Amino acid sequence: MIHLKSSREIEDIRTSCRLAAEAMAAVQREVRPGVTTGHLDDVADDYIRSQGGTPSAKGYRGFPKSICVSVNEVVVHGIPGDRVLSEGDILSVDIAVKKGGYHGDMNVSFAVGEPTEEARRLLDATSQSMELGMQACVTGNRLGDVGHVIQSFVEGEGYSVVREYCGHGIGRAFHEEPQLLHFGQPQTGRRLEPGIVFTVEPMVNQGIPDVTVLEDNWTAVTGDGKLSAQFEHTIAVTENGPDVLSRFDDLPF
């Protein structure tokens, strides 16, 4: 069942998204060659807790860290640790925060130093696919319309959309209904209406869409070892169009 959020609840979710975005900015300032993914986790965790929040990921279904950091061929759920960032890497940083009883969620893919041209193209295409998906989050459209817009753009750019993971409703629970597939057919799925809050978070692979989950039961890598990228924002459907709850004028995301 989908819980339609009140205007007050939407503002509470925005508050948690704000903290996630501030933590993301703190992480971004530390992204450079020679830094470990574990250091980025420490930076995010320290900032979130200093502002009265808690990392949504820590302990969620046993996840051991506070954020996910996925480098190069890692599609999603990369566990921060000893991996050292190198010039030209791309890394996807997923930060979710709970504050005041509500969760907020976002993801940004960064280049470490100067990216290769192929990495830059992948980052640009993934970001644009998210933007197009968010624009489709309007009252009267269906979830399939959003997925179709994303899939059509991504495949038109010569990339593939990961099928195994999806966007999700968010609120008092970290993951709620509805689920948003980032592929699909127009005019299928749940019709969007004001008060629906969910994430748009396409994962885009340079090669095939297949993923393999490693022995830690979390880290998902591309099936062919090629690059992957992801961007994510939390969206509220309103009568006046999509409201991006995790985007702020004074922050770079």
pTM: 0.97
Q: How many CB atoms lie within 10 A of CB 121?
A: 16
Of 155, 159, 86, nearest in space to 121 by CA: 159
Provide the CATH number for the domain around residue 175: 3.90.230.10
Instruction: Please indicate, yes or no, if residue 127 is contained in any of the structural domains.
Output: yes
Say how far apart CA 97 and CA 75 lie, in whole Å.
21
Instruction: Please indicate, yes or no, if residue 152 is contained in any of the structural domains.
Output: yes
Q: Looking at residues 153-157, what average pLDDT do you find? A: 98
For the stretch 72-83, pLDDT in tens is: 999 999 999 999
Q: Looking at residues 217-241, what average pLDDT do you find? A: 98
**pLDDT score at 76:** 98
Instruction: Please indicate, yes or no, if residue 181 is contained in any of the structural domains.
Output: yes
**pLDDT score at 193:** 98
Domain count within the chain: 1
The continuous run of DSSP H or E covering 217 comes out as: none
Q: Looking at residues 170-178, what average pLDDT do you find? A: 98
Instruction: Please indicate, yes or no, if residue 228 is contained in any of the structural domains.
Output: yes
**pLDDT score at 58:** 98
Instruction: Please indicate, yes or no, if residue 252 is contained in any of the structural domains.
Output: no
Instruction: Please indicate, yes or no, if residue 56 is contained in any of the structural domains.
Output: yes
Q: Looking at residues 18-28, what average pLDDT do you find? A: 98
Q: How many CB atoms lie within 10 A of CB 120?
A: 13
Q: Which domain holds residue 149?
A: 7-244
